[in-house]
Amino acid sequence: MFKHFRLPLALWVICLVGVLALAACGDESETSNQVPLILDVAYPAEVQPGQVVRLTALAKDPDGDDDSLTYQWNIKSGGGEFSRQMTRTIPSVTYTAPTELGLNFLEIVVTDPADRNAAFTFEITVRNILPPPTPTPEPTVPTAIVPPTVTPMPTATPVPTQTPVALKKFVLRGSGEPFDDLLVVEAIILGVPWFLLTEELFKGLDISVAVEMSNKRIAEDVRVFTFDPERAQELLTEAGFPDGFAAFWPRHKAGPLLLLAHDVEDNLSNIGIQLTTITNSADFITTGLSGRTTLELTLE
């Protein structure tokens, strides 16, 4: 179960009144910038050893510059590790819990452009949440075997064969000059933790993720590749994009596509590929036909 830290409304009003009072009676230079407010932090209270989870913070700059806030995640005590934050303005991060059982204290620090910051400490407990498997009882051997009476069986009505559940195949399609370079394609494959994302979002479903660039199927299931964002950045540099590049990205429909697309966009941003969302589907098609760089997640 995820926990949320929320600043109580009454406390928020008191803080705001206090800030306004200081502004009225204090030196203008001392109150020209206010400390950021951490409104909410979403995190699981308990996790399995080694489990990968996403942590998200919601913060506000009272001075109105929310887009310039930066987020730093720290481990105060305990263990585990965070995914490397290439862009600190993204308010979420992936956390891998340690394999040791116990309590871990983590911290989120939010800083504004004037280098004023606010911090919040929270705890995540690592324990074996799933119950141990029930052992299969050994069969009881009868003391004597009595031949059963054979009774004629009635003719059975044939049972129709059930249709298996359809395979969910996601396809990441790209068009435009950068995606003709296999180094760029490999960077996209290694820069996203495909297996972890699909396991976390669609646990128990038979999922695969294919990659198709410039109408050529490159891989049928990229979930078998190891997540390696550092190597992905090296590949982009080798391809001539040391600072990454920009591409257009449609607004995906609600449901499985939107869930996966959000995490894919975050991870690609971390390695330098910035996606600009085009909300109108007709405009997105026109953008692709004009030869501009586009990327899209679809379901087959």
Dump pLDDT digits (tens) for 205-214. 788 899 998 8
Q: For the purposes of burial, counting CB atoms within 10 Å of the CB of 165, is it exposed (0-12), middle (13-18) or buried (19 or more)? A: exposed
Residue 182 and residue 201: Cα distance in Å, rounded? 28
Assess whether pLDDT exceeds 90 at residue 299: no
Structure tokens given for 271: 């390695």
Residue 221 and residue 227: Cα distance in Å, rounded? 14
- Reported as a single tens digit per residue, the pLDDT across 139-193 is 665 555 555 665 665 555 554 544 444 447 889 988 888 888 889 999 999 999 9
Residue 188 and residue 266: Cα distance in Å, rounded? 12
**Beta strand spans in the chain (E):** 2-6, 37-44, 46-47, 52-60, 70-77, 81-82, 92-96, 102-111, 117-126, 168-175, 207-213, 216-219, 245-250, 273-278, 294-299
Residue 176: φ, ψ to 5°: 120, 165
Give this prediction's pTM: 0.45
Residue 108: φ, ψ to 5°: -115, 130
Residue 45 · residue 76 · CB < 8 Å: no
Residue 33: φ, ψ to 5°: -135, 135
CA end-to-end distance (rounded Å), the chain: 32
Q: Are strands 216-219 and 52-60 parallel, antiparallel or unpaired?
A: unpaired
Residue 189 · residue 268 · CB < 8 Å: no
How would residue 32 be classed by pLDDT, with cut points 50, 70 and 90?
A: confident
- Reported as a single tens digit per residue, the pLDDT across 96-142 is 999 999 999 999 999 999 999 999 999 999 998 766 566 666 666 55
